Structure 1
Amino acid sequence: MLPAMAPRTAPPVPSVTTTTPTTAPATTAPATAALATTGFAPFGRTAAVLAVTALLATSQLYGMIPLLGSVATDWHTPPAGLTWLVSAFGFGYAAGFLLFGPLSDRLGRRRVIVAGVAATAVSTALVALAGSPGPGLALRALQGLTIGAFPPVAMAYIGERVEPHRRLVTVTTMTTGFLASAVLGQLAAQGLVATLGWRSFFLAGAGAFALAAVALRWALLPDGPSTGASPLAAYRAMATLVRAPGLRLLYLATPVVLGSFVAVYTGLQLTGTTGLLELRASALPVILAIPFLTPRLARVPGPRRIALALFTAAAGTALVGLLHPGTLLLALLLMVVTAGIATAAPGLIDTIGSRAGAVRAPAVSLFTALLFVGASLGPQVAAALTGHGLAALALVLAALLGGGALLALASRR
């Protein structure tokens, strides 16, 4: 669920369309011309390497949540105050989407991806060396910024270099990596902090990113000649998109999606909820199943699909607040919440992309940046409300998700 490339030109925003959405990034004429001489990328190795890197990338956002208690003890700081370590990464990540997507038009896709992932190996290792909140926050923001070079440029690469009939499968595989990181990143961090300490999560991540950079350089095709496109064209298009009548309500709803999801898991950590290992693992089957259900879900019109998904997540979250459930029931409710979130995010991509028409790429990049701005704010919402208990947090999040669903419905007009 991540952005496609920034276009090489910035035409005016077209009127809202009703075309059937698709999750495969569109290609452009210059890209097609380049393929005439370079050929298409090998499917197997491309999909595999991009999916594993996607898993590593967003694991660094979610993996911080189980580490909060251990880092707080090490730094003699209350855990709630360290939720900014999650937020700082998310803000840097969102900024990286906006910065590197347009830059890759001029510098080349493989060059930007490999450099960004290699730089993340260094920035991740530096996080492990942080000894206090100040440097830790700065390094987490840097870490998010460097790995922010991967998602939008990888999506652009798929749209240009993968055979058309394999693009949807490749995007789905990569998206599954991003979604699965919400569970696997937390499980890996929880396991490592219990045995080797919190720093081991970042040291292991640094090594994994270094290997990923080598694998990406091997798997991705060399860059063709630079188009000389100006990144400013994409930024001008984004400024216009925010005001587009068919898009602005959807953009308003976007931060709620991952913001609520991250807030729920941060709240579970801060309130000392028992059975966290089981609760985190319970969402994995849902995350793995949603991409395979996407073709059927896509038959439902975009705004209605988004609204139903967010209402589902809101209902599950509200029941967490109203029922004060035990571990088993809480795990089932978290599966409902996860299903709603994992359905709403691709639905937003589809609807925003189809309505944006010729400026689909910057429209989806802007969506993804807002998505992770929400993810960055989620821990702060959790820190502010968990003093009143998990129920208070859950009910507020349910209201926000319900509001997002109403905005999606209103966007039908």
Structure 2
Amino acid sequence: MNLRATRARPSPAATPPPAGRSAAPAAAAGHAPFGPTAAVLAATALLATSQLYGMIPLLGRAAPGWNTDPASLTWLVSVFGFGYAAGFLLFGPLSDRLGRRRVMVGGVAATAVTTALVAAAPSPEIGIVLRVAQGVTIGAFPPVAMAYVGERVAPHRRLTTVTAMTTGFLAAAVVGQLTAQGLAAAFGWRSFFLAGAVAFAAAAAVLARVLLPDGPSGGASPRAAYRAMPRLLVTPGLWPLFLAVPVVLGPFVAIYTGLQLTGTDGLLELRASALPVILAIPFLTARLARVPGPARAAAALALSAASVALVGLLEPGTLGLALLLMLVTAGTAVAAPGLIDIVVARAGAARASAVSLHSALLFAGASLGPQLAAALTGHGLRALGLVLAALLAAGALLVAASRRGPA
């Protein structure tokens, strides 16, 4: 989902972690085993973000048991994303002090507990509180995992490892929804969270076995990273990008939520149609990288804008909708890493804080997507598509305008 910036920085300390500890002790300890490390990090990335998207197809199934309507339950999607974003900001810098392995294993293990508690939630109100906790605990994984890759994976293996993780994050948008839809149909909506709790417990055990031990505790103070974030928000060349970041995932989540709330036919096929695009994007990385970052990200957002506008204007059948959703997915999958490339290049010594801030804003935007869908689908899919197109077009213009900032 994010952080392909390692490609452009082959040195051991160059991957832009959301924390700034020196990689020297890691280098002395040797490199992590490539195959097991890439596999467990990619699988955990898939599990983590599946919990955001998996709630979307469960809205209609959870509502009757709680005597409410599906639109009001969109907060169960949103609050997880807000917690996830908060976890990024909190645990990235903290892992400098506490250690990457310790934070990752602890966060994933804690998520096994919070996910099981979501399955047992007796009411929407308690469910919302537990979803926040679930988001915060799993928010310990993504930024710290990226920092770990930059410090412990051999330089020539970093791009492959980060690409595997990125594919996991992106594929969660499809796999999470398909898994939730299938489990809910067979065993009820709570089964998705019960299965997730078991999967997180297994992931924590494998992470504890595969990840290299942390060095001596200590390291840089997290306060420096926290203090840098407000300054980054007003930095020339960066602030337009940070304004644009929330519209990358927000409309993507909103359009799928809107399709769920409007009872669109063929949702299984529509969700599955995006998976080939997500799997293909990593193989196009080298060619896409030839296009300058701002132009690449702006064009990708413009593609998504045009596609969701056509969804609203045409309200096509299943085949046409599937094709348009594939284009929306392609635009999202290109824009997200494109923006992080630019942020890392422009943030200088503050790139660790910039990466954490970027990731938090990305998922804050994703959290607002369901609320947009709930507010607009009462006026039909056309209203939702046109509003989302306007937001994406504004994001494209902000990214294009940022080209006047420092390169």
Q: Deviations over 1:115-157 (max 9, x none)?
A: 0000000000000000111100000000000000000000000
Residues 3, 368 of structure 1: 8 Å contact kept:
no
Conserved in 1, the CA contact under 8 Å of 2:115 and 2:196? yes
CA positional deviation for 1:226: 2.5
**Structure 2 SS opposite 1:412:** helix
Q: Distance in 2 between matches of 1:29 and 1:271?
A: 45
Distance, in Å, in 2 between the alignment partners of 1:309 and 1:232 is 35
1:186 maps to which residue?
177
For residues 93 and 381 of structure 1, what CA distance do their matches in structure 2 show?
19
Mapping of residues 333-348 of structure 1, within 5 Å: 333-348=324-339
Q: Which amino acid aligns with 1:135?
A: I
Give secondary structure in 1 for the equivalent of 2:74: helix
Check if 1:143 corresponds to 2:134: yes
2:377 is aligned with 1:389: no
1:411 counterpart SS class? helix
Matched, 1:25 2:15: yes
**Cross-structure match for 1:248:** 239
Letter in 2 for 1:25: T
Question: Residue 159 of structure 1: SS of its match in structure 2?
Answer: helix
Aligned residues of 2:3 and 2:341 also touching (Cα < 8 A): no
Q: Distance in 2 between matches of 1:366 and 1:111?
A: 22
Aligned partners of 1:122, 1:360: CA distance in 2, in Å? 33
CA displacement at 1:26 relative to structure 2: 4.3
Corresponding letter in the other structure for 2:254? A
| Identical pairs, percent | 74
Between 1:296-305 and 1:179-188, the stretch displaced more is 296-305
Q: Following TM superposition, by how much is the alpha carbon of 1:32 offset from its aligned partner in structure 2, in angstroms?
A: 3.6
Shift of 1:228: 3.2
Q: Work out the CA distance in 2 between the residues paired with 1:293 and 1:409.
A: 22
The 1:166/1:36 distance shift into structure 2, 3 A limit, reads closer
Q: How does 1:13-412 map to 2 (within 5 A)?
A: 25-26=15-16, 31-412=22-403
Contact 1:4 1:155 in 2 (8 A): no
2:16–2:355 CA contact under 8 A, matched in 1? no
Separation in structure 2 between the aligned mates of residue 95 and residue 4 of structure 1, nearest angstrom? 21
Q: How far apart are 1:227 and its partner, in Å?
A: 3.6
Which has the larger displacement, 355-364 or 82-91? 355-364
Q: Distance in 2 between matches of 1:335 and 1:22?
A: 31
TM-score by length of 1: 0.94
Write the distance in 1 (CA, Å) between the matches of 2:180 and 2:280: 23
Q: Deviations over 1:337-368 (max 9, x none)?
A: 10001000000000000111221111011001
Gaps of 5+ in 1: 6-19
Q: CA RMSD in A?
A: 1.7
What CA distance in whole angstroms lies between the structure 1 residues aligned with 2:143 and 2:44?
Answer: 13
Matching residue's letter, 1:270 = L
Q: Which moved more, 1:23-32 or 1:342-351?
A: 23-32
Q: Secondary structure at the match of 1:224?
A: coil
Instruction: Tell which deviates more after alignment, 354-363 or 64-73.
Output: 354-363
CA contact (8 A) 2:107 2:138 kept: yes
Distance in structure 2 (CA, Å) of the matches to 1:296 and 1:228: 38
Contact kept in structure 2, 1:259 and 1:377, CA below 8 Å = yes
Distance in 2 between residues matched to 1:32 and 1:369, nearest whole Å: 24
User: Following TM superposition, by how much is the alpha carbon of 1:399 offset from its aligned partner in structure 2, in angstroms?
Assistant: 0.8
Q: TM-score, normalised by structure 2?
A: 0.95
